[in-house]
Amino acid sequence: MKLKFHPPLDAGFTPAVLFNRDYVAAAKKSARAVPLVIGLERENKLVSRYETIVLPDTDAETLLYVERLVKFLLWAWGGWKLHIGGPKVIGEFIRKTYSPRGARKFDCEMMTTAYGKKFQVIVTMAEKVPAAKEAQIAAGGHLKGCRIGFDLGASDYKVSAVKDGEAVFTEEMPWDPKIQSDPAYHYHHVASALHRAAAHLPRVDAIGGSSAGIIVDNEIRVASLLRAVPKKLYPVAARIFKRLQKEWNVPVVVMNDGDVTALAGALSLGSKGMLGIALGSSEAAGFMDQQGRILGWLNELAFAPVDYQPGAALDEWAGDIGTGALYFSQQAVNKLLPAAKIKLPEKMGLPERLKEVQALMAKGDARAAKIYETIGIYLGYTLPYYAEFYDFRQVLILGRVTTGKGGDIVIEKANAVLKAEFPEVAAKIELKVPDEKSRRVGQAVAAASLPSLKK
């Protein structure tokens, strides 16, 4: 595998897209190659399906290809039942790996929690994997009236008061929810922000929200924001948005922050076929198809692998390496500090560390520039991988990591990689970055457009 661009601070970077393309190309040359079909079943018998080919072996490359592919699809699409159709020996490997005692125990537990059903792996033949059946949900774009939008991240939350599509008030406040065990902490921060925004409107007609995590029916099913909340109190924290809806007595709609990123892109650019990626406390992603529909996929690309090098950084929560959050977020900046030879106090939090790097970047520090160059090269090699699973024409890049001169370097490097390594992808997609203010609060404004008003 030869890269035309090498991340200056991560020499071992092994892009998933190049590894997978090399594997499939080699398999196609073999007379022994057989079909492999992966199906993921979600709520209401919705099914997403992916077809490829493999060699019917248990060599290291085949197992790595299949396991990483399954992992990616699981977090991109979601599902409580995994159908693996193809060679039985490969299927059994996946069943063992994705089990309560397997290496992917975390993933199984998260899917069980998200969908309310025990996670299952069905080993079968390729032709017996269920046909695809996707949801097609129109979401957002309601601009009339007096609205409040909020966006909850791991290190800050944002709120906007919006009147007929124009933001009349925006606020960004720090918080640290992931260490807070009392649901009241989460509730009071959101509730007080809504009241501060409401003070700038003659009335409140609707409230829309964007939050990290898996959101189903206005409930937080899985979220790192609530990781410190005890299990017995979790239902209280999970239903905060429903409590707010009852108190305000207006339509309230809350969606995953990634999907709101895609919606923000569609609204700001006036186009569809949108992949939105927010580089914030973690990586948030969302997708709107070319008909302007949300498909109900998880789009939790923070957990999806993008780097196959054996020594890739570890996500301690998920217990896996090479996943998106460590490449496209504040965590990525922190990961690269030692290689950049930038020393910061051990007790300094990730948001503060990012601010220090941004301050260095503003002064023209070459060490800080290399951090952004590295992230830009990561992005340039990862977008073509995303394009193999998402049919998009526009990519909207948001989030705190894109603020300032460093964000410009990220986009510049990503475009350079695309044009040199993946001209066929570069010809059909375009990277978009909103203005500086929209980079930071655009999701809160877009979230305000989620609810339709009562007739």
Q: Which of 260, 285, 310 is the last residue of a domain?
A: 260
Asked if the structure places residue 205 within a domain, the reply is yes
The reported pLDDT for the residue numbered 139 is: 67
Q: Give buried/exposed letters for 340-353 (b at 16+ CB in 10 A, else e).
A: bebeeeeeeebbeb
pLDDT for 440 equals: 47
Q: Are residues 296 and 416 in the same domain?
A: yes
Q: For residue 18, is it within any domain?
A: no
215 Cβ contact list (under 8 Å, min separation 6): 221, 254, 255, 256
Asked, for residue 226, whether it belongs to a domain, the answer is yes
Residues 276 and 412 in one domain: yes
Which pTM does this prediction carry?
Answer: 0.84
Q: Looking at the structure, do residues 162 and 79 belong to the same domain, yes or no?
A: no
- Give me the pLDDT at residue 429, please: 95
Whether 384 and 399 share a structural domain: yes
Domain match, 105 and 218 both: no
Q: Is there a contact between 279 and 401 (Cβ–Cβ < 8 Å)?
A: yes
* Residue 17 maps to a domain: no
Give, for all 455 residues of the chain, the pLDDT tens digit.
789 999 999 999 999 999 999 999 999 999 999 999 999 999 889 999 999 999 999 999 999 999 999 999 999 999 999 999 999 999 999 999 999 999 999 999 999 988 889 999 999 999 999 999 987 666 677 889 999 999 998 888 999 999 998 899 999 999 999 899 999 999 999 999 999 999 999 999 999 998 888 887 788 988 888 989 998 999 999 999 999 999 999 999 998 877 887 787 777 777 788 898 989 888 988 898 888 777 879 999 999 999 999 999 999 889 999 999 999 999 999 999 999 999 999 999 999 999 999 999 999 999 999 999 999 999 999 999 999 999 999 998 888 899 899 999 999 999 999 999 999 999 999 998 876 544 444 677 888 988 888 65
- If asked whether residues 276 and 153 sit together in one domain, one would say no
Domain co-membership, 251 together with 271: no
Q: Is residue 454 part of a domain?
A: no
Alpha-carbon Rg for the chain, nearest whole angstrom, is 22
Residue 79 shares a structural domain with residue 151: no
What single-letter DSSP state applies at residue 43?
Answer: G
Kindly state whether residue 3 falls inside one of the protein's structural domains. Answer: no
Range of the domain at 194: 137-260
Quick check: is 6 in a domain? no
Number of structural domains in the chain: 3
Domain membership flag for residue 435: yes
Where among 195, 228, 260 does a domain terminate? 260
What span, in angstroms and rounded, lies between the C-alpha atoms of 118 and 84?
A: 17
With a CB cutoff of 8 Å and minimum separation 6, the contacts of 55 are 27, 30, 32, 33, 34, 62
Question: 333-349, pLDDT tens digit by residue?
Answer: 999 999 999 999 999 99
Which residues, listed in sequence order, are joined to residue 206 by a DSSP beta bridge?
147
